[in-house]
Amino acid sequence: MLEFLRKLFGGTDLKPIIEKGALIIDVRTVKEFQGGSAEGARNIPLGDLSRNIDEIKKIKKPVITCCASGMRSGAAVKQLENYRIEAYNGGSWQSVNKQMKK
């Protein structure tokens, strides 16, 4: 049950993934993203994610997704995994920021 909640809302130790040079994708709306985001994050709203798959694959790095709470980023991870992209749910963008500063 705990693993299910971690996958859904985030909770993975992101530090080693960040150290691999992971791409951080914030899947919130542009307006939400403009209100604050994880350091270095790229904004690709969840509804636009599938249109950017080829570009994301070209980067050849793990992806950490984030949003406001972890729900949309969890959905983004499932989409990315369907395209065989290594992806992790970072949960909220604030949580990703905290883990980056550990």
Question: Which CATH number fits the domain that encloses residue 46?
Answer: 3.40.250.10
Whether 2 has a pLDDT exceeding 50, the answer reads no
Residue 99 corresponds to which amino acid? Q
Structural domain boundaries enclosing 87: 2-100
CA distance 62 to 30: 23
Whether 7 has a pLDDT exceeding 90, the answer reads no
SS3 label, residue 26: strand
Q: Which of 80, 63, 62, 73 minimizes the C-alpha distance to 95?
A: 73
Please tell me the predicted confidence (pLDDT) of residue 69: 92
Provide the domain count of the chain: 1
Q: What is the mean pLDDT of residues 33-55?
A: 97
CB neighbour class for 64 (10 Å; exposed up to 12, middle 13-18, buried from 19) = buried
Q: Which tens digits make up the pLDDT trace of 46-95?
A: 999 999 999 999 999 999 999 999 999 999 999 999 999 999 999 999 99
Kindly provide the residue ranges of all beta strands, DSSP E only, lying in the chain, ordered along the sequence: 23-26, 42-43, 63-67, 87-92
Beta bridge partners of 54: none
